[in-house]
Amino acid sequence: METTVLQLAKDLIARPSVTPDDAGCQQMIIERLEPLGFEWQVMAEGGVNNLWIRRGQARPLVVFAGHTDVVPTGPLERWNTDPFQPTETDGYLFGRGASDMKSSIAAFVVGIEEFVRAHPDHPGSIALLITSDEEGPAIHGTVKVCEHLKSTGETPDFCVVGEPTSVNHLGDTIKNGRRGSLSGKLTVKGKQGHIAYPHMAINPIHRATPAINDLIAELWDHGNDYFPATSFQISNIHAGTGAGNVIPGDIVIDFNFRFCTESTPQSLKDRVEAILQRHELTYELDWNLSGLPFLTPRGELSDALSNAIKAATGKTPELSTTGGTSDGRFIAQICPQVIEFGPTNATIHQVNENIEIAQLEPLKDVYRLTLQNLLLKT
């Protein structure tokens, strides 16, 4: 039998909301929740739609956060079914966004509906923060809503982000933090010349290599109980004119830090600069900070969510901070407790993305029970 959450997930998947297009998904949420007393506003900026929809004015404020945008489909001929025609096959729901993260949004909405109908006079407040700019540059999305909420004093007390965090089974993993991301583009200058006359040139590849080795060997920190040690990785190296007899004039190195709370962006920048200067390089270095690390230690939200997961799935979740960045990094700047939880992530961003249909009802129950645990304390 098709459940309410399954039908809503299919309705959302059928909307081709490739980032930054919302394709009407947020209007569907408004139409579901407005009759239950939710007040809403859509903040549109830079081609992005952001929905803030809230019921109640009292504390605590519990927020469910997510995104309606999805990544591009990739080659359509590699899909077994139309990515925007949700299809049930052998117990799985196929379609772009099935795991990341339209099923979570459907579970948010239906779980909230069930909670409010059962407890119409509940204490506290419930809200959703939904953007269409999570899979893109993320400059007109959740970060803008957070700035607005901070200015109006509507900052959340608790936030559950519906990212697909489960690994092997629904409920085995929740994310109570994420590493920060700091990227650098290093250009080491040399002097172009004929390869047969190296004394008349300065080879930047040779000059940069000892510094690269030191950067790779550097222990940036030891991590902590929640995070692994900060990681330095080179992603691209570009040098040369394409000719085999020319020493290039410069080398460009792209690198990234995924850093934990034991390091700061400034400390990493300073240490990189010190290594480069120790090797007496002539260089230019451009930095891009795309996200700070955040951490929610064990506490009220993790307990409420973990107990809900145990009740709905029988699983005891593991706390994890692995993976890439998420919009949790923005919400954590205005909310003291932010945790991510959602379905299994084995097929996210892939061709033939899918979710096991059997996960949908317990996922909805987890979100509903989390509300119950936070707002109906005995």
In order, the DSSP letters of 109-166 are HHHHHHHHHH-TT-SSEEEEEEES-SSS--SSSHHHHHHHHHHHT---SEEEE----B
At 8 the three-state DSSP class reads helix
Question: Which is nearest to 295 in space by CA: 328, 256, 264, 323?
Answer: 328
pLDDT for 10-61, tens place per residue? Answer: 999 999 999 999 999 999 999 999 999 999 999 999 999 999 999 999 999 9
Reference 69, options 20, 29, 11; nearest CA is 20
Catalytic residue numbers? 69, 134
Binding residues for Zn(2+): 67, 100, 135, 163, 349
Cβ atoms of residues 168 and 75 within 8 Å: no
Mean pLDDT of the residues in the chain: 97
Q: Which residues are annotated as a binding site?
A: 67, 100, 135, 163, 349
pLDDT above 70 covers a percentage of the chain that reads 99
d(Cα 173, Cα 170) in Å, to the nearest integer?
A: 8
Q: What is the pLDDT of residue 2?
A: 54
Is the pLDDT assigned to residue 237 strictly greater than 60?
yes
What is the pLDDT confidence band of residue 86, given thresholds at 50, 70 and 90?
Answer: very high
Span 170-195, pLDDT tens digits: 999 999 999 999 999 999 999 999 99
DSSP for 40-53, written as a single string: EEEEEETTEEEEEE
CA 346 – CA 175 distance, rounded (Å) = 16
Cis peptide before 164 (omega within 30 of 0): no
At a CB cut-off of 8 Å and minimum separation 6, what does 338 contact?
159, 161, 294, 296, 301, 328, 331, 332
Question: Around 193, how many Cα atoms within 13 Å sit in the side-chain half-sphere?
Answer: 13
Quote the pLDDT of residue 378. Answer: 55
For 277, residues 6+ apart whose C-beta sits below 8 A from its C-beta are: none
pLDDT of residue 324: 85
DSSP label of 168: S
